[in-house]
Every structure is written in C-alpha cells, then in structure tokens.
Amino acid sequence: MANTRIEKDSLGQLELPNGVLYGINTARSLENFPLSGRSITTWPDFIHAFATVKQAAARANCEVGSLTTEQADAIVAACEEIKTGEHDGHLVVDILEGSGGTSTNMNVNEVIANIATKASGRPLSDYSLIHPNDHVNLGQSTNDVLPTAMKLAVYRAMGEALRMLRQLADRLSMKREEYKSLLRLGRTCLQDAQPMTFGQAMGGYEAVIRRHTEQLNNLREQCLVVPLGGTAIGTGFGSQPGYKAAVFRHLSAIFGAKVEPSGDTFDGMQNMDTCARLSAELRNTASSLWKIANDLIILSSGPNGGIGEITLPSVQAGSSIMPGKVNPVIPMAVCQVAFAITGNDTAIAMGCQQGMLEINHFEMLVCDRLLDSIRLIAGATGIFTRRCVDGLVANKDVSQKHLLASSALATSLVPALGYQQVSTIVRTSLAENRAFLDVVEEKGLLKIEEAVLILEELVNTDDCIAMTSSLAGDISRLPSSTCLAPIQGRTSNVIRQAKAGSLPEMPQEEGEMLGRNVLVSEAYLRQLQAQSSYHIRCYPGDESHSRDASSQTSRETSLRPSTQGGHENSTPTLTLKHATSEAFVSGLKRLSYYPEGLDQVPNYEYVSLSSDKSCSEVLTSSLQALNVAIQLPPYPYALQLVQQFELYMGYEYHWYLRRDFHSALQATYRCPQSAQSRSHTWLCKLLAVLALEESFDVYGPPPLIDLNPDQGSICNSSSRVLRRGQGKSVDGPSSYLPGAGFFEQSLSLFRMPSEEPHIGQVEALNLISFFCYSLNRRKTAYMYAGTSMRIACTLMLHKPAISETPATTEHQKRVWWTTSLMEAMTSSERGLRSTFGFMQAEQHLPSDELLAPNERDNFWDAQLMAAHLKLCKIRSLILETLGHLHEYENDFDRYEKAVEVPLRELELWKRELPPDISFEFSQGVPQDMLDRPSVRSLASMYLRYHQGYILLIRPVFFKLLGTVLGKDTNTTPSSSSSLDGLSNLSSQCLAAAKCNMRILTTLSSKDLIAKYGFYDSLHLFSGIKIFVLSRLVSTVSASLSIPATAQSMTVSIGAGDDLTQDPEDISLCNAAKELLGVMASCGNRASKGHLQLLEEIERLLDVVSHSFSQEQPPRSQTPGSLFGTDLFPWIDSIDSSGYFLDLDGGVGYP
C-alpha cells in the first residue's frame, strides 16, 4: 500500500501522507504559516463550535433539498467525531494563519469530508460522496462561518469564566459577613485616612466583581447574534431559498441556546465591535482583580516588618535561600494574568480596527487572543477564590493596634469633641509621637472604650451605603415590550406608591392585548364597578349549627353553573333569597358542597341579594365580550381551597402570599363593598389561588397536553375529569376543566398596566403563570412569567428598596425572588435563558431581622426562603454541569472532577443552613420537621437537595454496569484514588436516594404528599431506581469476569452499603414502590410512566439474576452472548428516561 496520496487544486498538485485526514488546502497552509507553533485545536471550544455550525448547515441544506439525507447524515456523524477531540491531530492549521480564516475553514471541511469518505469504505481523497467544498461548505463562506464559530466558542468559554467570577463574589460576600464588625484603618495614598471595617472592604470587592460579572454576561449574550447565511459579503449569494431560516433553527437546537441572525448581515461581517467590547470588559475585570490582589499583597505584607493586617494561606515555599519565607504567590499570579489580558486587549483592539471593506481579515488573531483572555480570567479567578480568598484571615489585634495608634480617628471624634479641640490633639500626638487616643484619654476627654464605641456606631451605620443609579438609565436597559411604556421622570414618591399598589389603576383601550390574550376592557370595568352587590356576604353566626355543620364530610365540592337560577332541576340548587343561617348550612349539606371540617367560621347568616339566584350563580356579573361570569364560591369551600393550597403547594413560588391571606379572604366575604373586596387585583389573585388548589386537590391529574397554547383561557376545551377516590370518569360541562372556572375569572379581572404598573400585578401574573404551568401549559406559563418579570424590572424590584418600611422592603424582596424563580423555571423548560440568573440581581435575600414581631409572624419563614433560593442557584450549576457530562463519557477521572464543584456547593449549602431548618434523614424524618407548618416546603427543599446528588452521581451506576458487562473496558477508573473517590460518590448517591424515599413515604403516611404531583413522583422514581441499579451492579459484578478496578469498585460499593441484604432498606424500597403505585392509581400519569421504567429496570435485574441462578456462565463467555446484543441499548434507554419525563414537549428539570 502506498504511503502517500496525491491531491490537486488550481495551483497544481501535492503529495500527502496517506494517514492524514486533511487535504491539499491544509497542506499548503502548513507550508505558508509555520508561525506560533499552536494549532486551531488549542481552543477546543472553537473546534466544537465550528463542527456545530457545519452540522447545522448540513441539516439545513438537506431540508432545502441541496443535500441528500445520506450526505447530510455522513457530515453530521463526522462532525460528532470531531467534537470528541478524536481527530485533533488532523486539525493542524496554525492559529495565526494569515488567510483570513480560509485555511481554518478548509482544514475543517477536508477533515469532515475524509472522515465521511473513510466511513463509507472509500479511499481518502475520494470526494465522490462528500466533497469539502461542494457538500461540507455548501451555502457557506469562510466569511460567515468563521465569525459565527468564533462567537459561539466565546459564548461557550464564557460560561466557566462567569461561574468562577460568581463564585469569587459569593466568597467575598461570605468574608463581608464574617468581618462586618471588625474595625481596621482605611488608607488613601497609602497614608492613614479613616476607620472602616474589613467587611466594608470585602463588600467593595464583591460589588465590583458582581458588576463586571453582569456586564460580561450581557456581552456574552450578544455573541449569540451571528452573520451566518451572509456567505461571502453579506448578500447570501450561493445559498438556497429557505436555507438561512433552516440553518438558524438547526443551529439553535444543536448548540443548546437560541442563536439569532444579525439584524444587518453586512454589519455582522464587517464589524467586530462586540468582540472589542467583550475584550475591553475582560481587561477591566482583570484590572479590578489586579487591584484586589494588590491590596491583599499590601495588607498581608510583613509579617513583622509590614502591615500584616491579614494572613493569606501558605501554598508553597517562597524562597530557595531564605528558610520559612512565604510569598503571596496567588495574588501575584493574578496580577501577572492581568498584565497578559491587558496585552491581549491591545492586540484585539488593533485587529478589530483593521477590518477592510466587507470583512475583517484578522479574526483568527482576535479569536485566539479573546479565548486566551477568557481562559486566563477563569483560571486566575478560580485559584484566587480557592487558594487565597477562601483561607484569608483578618488579624484583629494588629488591625486594632494600627487603628488606635492612628490620628485617623480624629474625624470620627469631631461630633463629640469639636473640630478645634480635635485639631489640637492631632498636633500634640504627632509632635510627641504618641497614639492619638492616648492623648485624648490623658486630657480626660474620653476613655478609649468610649471612643471605640463612638467609632463602631459611626462605621457600621447604614448611611454609608447609598443607591446612586438612575431610574431612567435602568429602565432604558430593560427589554422593550408593547405592553409596557418606559417610566420617565417619575418621582421617588410616585414609585413608592406604585410599588405599594396604592395608585389608582389606569384606564386602557378597548381590547388591549397581552400576546394573543384579550384582556378585560374599560367598558366592562365601568359596568362592574356600577354593580351594587356581586359577592356572597357571609357573617359569623351563632354556634347552634356548628356541630351539625362540622359533621359533614363530603369531599365532592365542585361547583357547577346552573342554567335555571333558583329552580330545582336534575342538579339540586339552593335558593338564597332571605335565607337564614340554618337554611344555608342545610343547603350546603344537601348539595354536598361542605368540606371536611376545615372551616374556621362554620356558621353564616346569609344576607339576601337583590334577586333570586342559585348558589352556583351567586356573585355573577355577565361579561358579554368574553362570555365569562365573576362568581366566588361559598366561603367554606373557598377557605378549604386556600388552606389546602398552603399545605400541598408550599410557597416555593408564592412566598409573597402573607399569612393574613385568610383574614383578607374573610373580609372579602364579610364586607363585599369595601375597597379591598372590590379590588380587581386582589380578586384576580384570590381566584388564581382557588383555581390552583381546585386543579390539584379536588381532581385527578391535569391534562398532559398543552391545549390551545396561544389562548389565554382553557374554558373552551372539553374534558372528562376523574374524581379523587372514584374509579370512573365523570362527564363535566364542556367548559369545565379543574380550576378552569376560577382561572377564566382571574384572567378576565387582570389588567395590564398602561402607565403605572404596581406590585399587585406582578403577584397576580405569577399566580396565573403557575396555574398554566401546573396544567402543563408551559408555553402560556412562560409568556405570563416573562411579562411578570418585565413589570418587576420596571418597578425596579431587582434593586434594594430605598426609604421604605421594613415590612414593605421585605415584601418587595419576596415578590422579586418568587418572580425570578417562576421566570427562570418556565424559561429553562422552554430551552431559553432567564432574564436574571440566580443571585445576579442586586436585591438582597429575604430576612426578618428588621421586622417587628407582629410583622415577622405575618411573613412566611425568611430563613427557609433564603435557603431555597441558594439551593436554586446550585441547581442551576448542576444543570450546567449535566450539560457537559456527556463529554466525559469514557473518562471517569474527568467526570469526577466535573461533579466536584457542584457537590462541594451542595455540602456547603447544607453546612450553612440555620440550625432550626437543618435536618438529617438517615434514620427517618425528624418529628420536629413534621410538626412545622412549613413541612411541605421544607420537604420540597430537601427533596431537591438530595436529588442534586442523584442527578450528578447516577451515571456512576450506569458506567459500572456497562463496564462489568463488557460494554466499554476503557471507562474504569485510572487510579486507586479515582476508585476511592467514585466509591465515595456512589455511597453518597445511595444515601440521598434513601433519604428521599424516607421523606416521601413519611409524608404520605401523614397525608401530606401530593399524589398528583410530577416532582413527588420523580423523586420517588429516582430513589427507587438508584436502589435497584445498585443491586443490579452487585449481582452482575459478583458473577462475571470484569476488570480488576471495576471489580474492586463494585465490591467497595457493596461493602459500604449492601442494599441486597438489609431488610430495612428493602422494606423502604417496597414502601416507596407501593406509594408510586398509589399515585398512579390516582391518575398520576407521571407515576404511571415511572412505574413502567422501573419495570424495565427490574426486568433487566430479573434477566441477569435468573441467568446466574441457573448456572455460572463460563469465564470465556461474553456478556453480549449471554444476554443478547440489545442489552446495552436497553441500559442506555433506561438511563436517559425518567429524569426529564416529557409531558408536553418541553424539558422538565427537577
């Protein structure tokens, strides 16, 4: 066989080594550009992005008919191989090649073509099936592909840099809290200035890092706007009609983020200002890191001959000649990195400004230097956090000595002693070389203790922190919306009124639209306000009927509209005109409307209405335009729903609903003509709560399809609902789905702001969004959540409140964070980015420290909400990590490193929990937790905490299973340390699974589990799944000849947690499976799906166990021949199912 092959081009022909996958264009580039000694594979993100663009182009060309399916599939498969790094040795063009990127593009094209050629059985360079130009590069040009790949690579690389910066800011925040009261001497121009605290210094560092992080994240998002489809100069010449739309659709799907075309393709190809701005901000960030690191070097100088007010961790010896010397090597490294990034920015600025006419020829330089800056900022920030800031210790004694000996205290004592007297003392202390406070005490003016007390009070005052940002500037940066007009020139007083909801609702035009959802018109509002009575009026009556009323235990509480007001028909009705309390309670019994003894006000004296109406038609006011009626249910049913809502739903997404919701509900029925009772926003929120609980508690599961996703009301969809506790379907009116009657009223009452939005509208939208989400209407939920977020931003709820009462401030915090949670959840399930990442906003976490006792009792647990929000941030990190785990499919060591950070964050979260909400579940659910009113919210939080471990570690079991069955012998750990680490991980995963099963089975025994709930079912399924898989791994590994490392690993797992023998654990697993079956029998479709997946896993276990129980397989027999060739796809299908069970075409993250 020949060792070389010949390729030809327009310049002639070249002889190529037969083993290389590149072609003649790449070979010429190697001759022309032996420059940096670094190839384009220096940046894996760049190669990954380039291959992604080629995949999307192949799919788009196939869609428009330019490529056959065979050709497109061959190109896509080749790109997948390139993404793994398998062919990096063939991507050899120098990163600083001078062809404007053509050599890079052709290197990728040629390698893709030859991979596909080789896979088809053809010799290399036989381009009859896939040609580098005619097929791989079809509809493309270097001039649109290269900037697209570069921007996507930058977007991908920036993820790690931003994560490191947020981690640094979080650690600085912890130091700020740790040293918030420790005084030190502030210095300007390295001279003594004024006193301050170490916490204030750390807070300043934290603020600048968060500001840079926000700016970098904004610039990162701009990298998703690319000029792909413009081909050579922006005209799109050379591509087929429909190609551009198709390629962006496929590119977004493959890349995993919404990639958008440039508004002007010519601009996108000529100008590189986005890269220049990003580089400049990276330089600014590096400069701030440089400043912080330099400060730490100065403050740690000494230890005896310098300042020495802080001690940095000792990470290595500092001198080869001076024993014991330790240098601040980490901060010095950060400074050095800042110098390098500054140099990179200079090169990038010159490259960006040298574009000529239709394109920029220096994109390869910009790409190289920009990715280098990103890698440097990520690496430097990471080591700075872990190896410097984490271990930083402030030296109290040294700091106090410097402070008390300094005349910097003089300014602080002017209010107490007067300017003239203090000036005299300063001159005396300097002339006599004595401590300033010694002179003060000697003169009998103040004792040192008194001076220190004055100092602490002045330094720790809140007045030293001021909000200076401009309202108009903040609003101008918000996303535009046709529904919201920017607020300009508004006084602070008006803003406070708007936030508090005290401003009158502004009129809006007839038929105003929210997306495609028609809102209530001004004409209807005038009609509604003219109504003299449209509520049931219920007052506490005497106690004569309380025992009789409480004996009613019927659960059939559904209200049905009646077509014949006041008359008996096939459905009994109750005439309420001049009804007495006895008749009212009796009628409720007869209609089976009364709930299970949960009514706190069981007796009513019913006030007659102006006309005779049936119970189901009370509170009715016709809405002709929408054919909707406003009607509240009888008070007992409303109270039942509200109480069940609190119990089952928790407050993860509704923390702003205070404990006085009950009293407000009662006041609405007692005083229907009051302003509160007639508030459209209040009624909108109340009806949304009633809709939520009715849809979850009274009926079985919600529909599993997103009906009419573009409509705002579900009342036009027919349904058959399954009543709880009954095994048959009941035909309901065509207009009635669970909670739909309340929901359509809530929606009709909601009013979009035209000029003056208020905080109540944010609350109402959150509830409306959650109802849509609960009924699996994810698209509609996302729309409402996004609108809620925009109103919240307009009201500046993401910023700390100024000059507000503690109760108002705390309320605004909770509204903001619940809005952020709701918007982030719905965005992620649509595959989109949220407006704010967790902890990106300036708003503080909830706290009840400043609240009065009566105010504190009115709010739901602030500590629990703060802990839940911190956990949500970690869950975002887990989700990001899961997106990269497939890259380490065959590398246990890299996998272990990848999950190390989120696992450490989970451990830190648990350690930092306040004692009163910190529980352990190794022996069961603590009674203290079960006795708390917030037990469901606590349980929900801990279920998600344990689920984090399961999601991150569960691949261990599937990798082990594949290894012991011979699927891939390269997936075993490479060292004993890796073996120990993975054994420890598997034990953590098993422990987390058992904890979740204990929590859910215990809640079920207390009737506190939501048997309709998707996530309750998911947590049960995942716990049982890990349990069963561990048994499967133990069974297989004990009977097959497997690699030594895998054998010892599975043995160590079994030794650490023998799930095959422990009767208590087996009993726990059986109880969890029984509970999953009960949930499925209640109509929980998710539970049914999870049970089917468990049957698959257990069937696999039975097959394996049965095979080994019959006879020991020969050592030479392969697992494939023992169980069949379809075993491994079977395992893979089980692994990829269940955790993201798709109920409506979206992705569900637990």
**Residues in contact with 684: Cβ distance below 8 Å, sequence separation at least 6, in sequence order:** 746, 747, 749, 750, 764, 767, 768
Q: What is the DSSP string of 346-389?
A: HHHHHHHHT-BTTB-TTHHHHHHHHHHHHHHHHHHHHHHIIIII
Residue 1039 CA to residue 1047 CA, distance in Å, equals 10
Give just the sign of the alpha carbon dihedral 617, 618, 624, 626. Answer: negative
| 104 neighbors 97 (Cβ within 8 angstroms) | yes
| Distance set, CA 681 to CA 517, 546, 687, 750, 875 (Å) | 17, 33, 10, 6, 33
- HEC sequence for 1050-1068: HHHHHHHCCCCCCHHHHHH
**Ordered alpha helix ranges (H), 16-67:** 24-32, 44-63
Residue 134 CA to residue 140 CA, distance in Å, equals 10
Residue type, 741: G
Q: Which of 153, 170, 278 is nearest to 217 (CA)?
A: 278
Residue 137 CA to residue 143 CA, distance in Å, equals 12
Residue 873 CA to residue 105 CA, distance in Å, equals 39
| 561 neighbors 733 (Cβ within 8 angstroms) | yes
Residue 771 CA to residue 715 CA, distance in Å, equals 13
**Residues in contact with 609: Cβ distance below 8 Å, sequence separation at least 6, in sequence order:** 533, 576, 577, 618
Question: Phi/psi at 1061 (nearest 5 deg)?
Answer: -120, -25
Taking each helix axis from N to C end, the angle separating 142-178 and 363-384, rounded to the nearest 10 degrees, works out to 20
Residues found in the chain: 1150
Q: Which of 942, 374, 897, 937 is nearest to 657 (CA)?
A: 937
Q: 319 an active-site residue? A: yes
Question: Where do we find the tokens 């080591």?
Answer: 383
Q: Is 137 helix (H, G, I), strand (E, B) or coil?
A: coil
Residue 629 CA to residue 651 CA, distance in Å, equals 29
- The pair of structure tokens assigned to 1018 is 């998911």
Distance of CA 521 to the CA centre of its chain: 36
Residue 132 CA to residue 1096 CA, distance in Å, equals 45
Distance of CA 1039 to the CA centre of its chain: 43
What are the b/e assignments for 893-917, b being 16+ CB within 10 Å? Answer: eebbebbebbbebbeebeeebeeeb
- Side-chain half-sphere CA neighbours of 176 within 13 A: 15
Distance of CA 775 to the CA centre of its chain: 21
Q: Is 186 helix (H, G, I), strand (E, B) or coil?
A: strand
DSSP β-bridge partners for residue 721: 730
Q: Which of 797, 786, 796, 795 is nearest to 822 (CA)?
A: 786
| 669 neighbors 538 (Cβ within 8 angstroms) | yes
Residue 691 CA to residue 689 CA, distance in Å, equals 5
* For the chain, counts of helices (H) and of strands (E): 41, 14
| Catalytic annotation, pick one of 319, 551, 734, 803 | 319
- The pair of structure tokens assigned to 577 is 């005109």
Residue 1053 CA to residue 984 CA, distance in Å, equals 8
- The pair of structure tokens assigned to 555 is 């659960």
Residues marked active site are found at 319
